Copies of this chain bind each other. A is one copy, B any other.
């Protein structure tokens, strides 16, 4: 089985980290393919970035030739998930929802610790759209930008502080709300003594499960195949028309 993992931003180093995290979580026999969008923000922190990221990832997917069995979208709270479900014939799992689904299985209430306060609303909306917001006691910012996460010590300290606030608010399980936090889950878990979930790992396992059970995105209703029409895709918008979708 081959799982494509898309980073939501243009930072290659982060794609590498995500790829490593995905590989560590995957079953033996699962191949991980990680890709970076060709345009968009270097990190996604807020709605402007998120909407650029969504289109950039869809643009990337639209141009891909390689076959894959499932897509994992590695952008915590970032948009695009439903569009990918329309575009692709394989299952799509986003790391936001994936982490929340597993969190619900491990405790009665969970919390999310993310980067900056400005992204909390975005994540709340993403959880709501995915249908798993009910048992979330809160999404808390750790006061760190996405690209500051490379400072491991500072990140760990900030996550611990935010994680304690989530626990005090009733979280029995913690979700790490950024693809760039991959790898920190076990250390935070040990320190706070509650399960901590990394979205990339969760999404890889859920994607594998869907493929194994031969379950695909429903084409009835919301995620029907895109209607054939003229779409000017951003990467070649100078051309007059892209009839690629007309089938």
Question: Assuming the A-B contacts A83-B51, A87-B48, A134-B134, are A107 and B218 also in contact, with contact meaning beta carbons closer than 8 angstroms in the complex?
Answer: yes
Question: Assuming the A-B contacts A47-B83, A221-B121, are A104 and B108 also in contact, with contact meaning beta carbons closer than 8 angstroms in the complex?
Answer: no
Q: Which residues of chain B have C-beta atoms less than 8 A from A223's C-beta? A: 47, 107-108, 172
A220 in complex: contacting residue of B83, B121, B172, CB < 8 Å:
B172
Assembly CA distance A167 to B238 (angstroms):
42
Assembly CA distance A109 to B234 (angstroms):
31
How close is A122's CB to chain B, nearest CB, in angstroms?
8
- Is the beta-carbon distance between B82 and A47 smaller than 8 angstroms? yes
As a 0/1 sequence over residues 63 to 97 of chain A, the CB contacts with chain B under 8 angstroms (1 = contact) are 00000000000000001101101110001110001
How close is A233's CB to chain B, nearest CB, in angstroms?
7
Interface residues on A, range: 35 or more
- Is the beta-carbon distance between A58 and B54 smaller than 8 angstroms? no
- Is the beta-carbon distance between B231 and A52 smaller than 8 angstroms? yes
Q: Is the C-beta of A42 less than 8 angstroms from some C-beta in chain B? A: yes
- Is the beta-carbon distance between A108 and B51 smaller than 8 angstroms? no
Q: Is the C-beta of A173 less than 8 angstroms from some C-beta in chain B? A: yes
Interface residues of A (CB under 8 A from B): 10, 25, 27, 38-43, 45-52, 54-56, 58-59, 79-80, 82-83, 85-87, 91-93, 97, 101-102, 104-109, 117-118, 121-122, 125, 128-135, 145, 147, 167, 170, 172-173, 186, 193-195, 197, 201-202, 205-206, 208-210, 212-224, 226-227, 229-235, 237
